[in-house]
Structure 1
């Protein structure tokens, strides 16, 4: 999937920002000081099945993770370097439907935004 479409979708959400995590070389997306997505290429030395893959990690509903993993076992992996029960890593080169990837971007933002303090939610919504 075209990375520019993903980037535009992630940044279209209120208060969303991105910054390069220089130590890791990952592009990290934030809302209210909390991460809701990151895009990166896993090191070739990473553990299988992550090694060398171009990944997008997103916060995700646990039930949805189970469904996605069953439907797309080669493309949907437990969250790399995060809690695999609530984060998922998508292989961006595995042919996942674009609409599915964009919907998961929205879900990730919504899940993280909903956990922000109400005051922060109001500040972001008013921005």
Structure 2
């Protein structure tokens, strides 16, 4: 998956915005102001294609045990975030889309009902 496809997919999710809240390098996707995906554009351009995604803690452990390309979230709470490296063939496009969906859903599920209702 290239950065344009990743960006287009994230932006297709209801209520998603993209921002650079930390620096000019870290692209952050948010749903109603809550982060669900982060990408370092400098690292991506250098060939280290990776994305940080929110994840259910139990599922995060399962993924890390199954895939060498999934580790605790870089510069994130490792219990709730994974870094998914995309520069090798271990992670399929189908899996990365499922993991983005899972991250988005985790964030939406944790929102107050009033905010969730804004998405519908």
Length-normalised TM-score, structure 1: 0.82
Q: Which residue of 2 aligns with 1:88?
A: 82
Q: Compare the two structures and name the one with the higher helix fraction.
A: 2
- Other-structure match for 1:117: 112
Q: Which runs of 4+ in 1 moved over 3 A?
A: none
Residue by residue over 1:57-103, the C-alpha shift from the partner in whole angstroms, topping out at 9 and shown as x without a partner, is: 00011222122112211x11100111111100011212211100000
Q: Residues 17-46 of structure 1, C-alpha deviation per residue, up to 9 Å, x if partnerless?
A: 111246251100001111110111577xxx
Secondary structure of the corresponding residue to residue 112 of structure 1: helix
* Greater RCO, CA 8 A, separation 6+: 1
Gaps of 5+ in 1: 44-51
Shift of 1:4: 2.1
Q: Secondary structure at the residue paired with 2:20?
A: strand
Q: Which runs of 5+ in 2 are unaligned?
A: none
Matched, 1:108 2:103: yes
1:49 alignment counterpart: none
Q: CA RMSD in A?
A: 1.9
CA distance in 1, matches of 2:35, 2:103: 9
For 1:66-77, what aligned pairs fall within 5 Å after superposition?
A: 66-73=61-68, 75-77=69-71
The answer to whether 1:26 aligns with 2:20 is no
What is the aligned partner in structure 2 of residue 4 from structure 1?
4
Count of matched residue pairs: 116
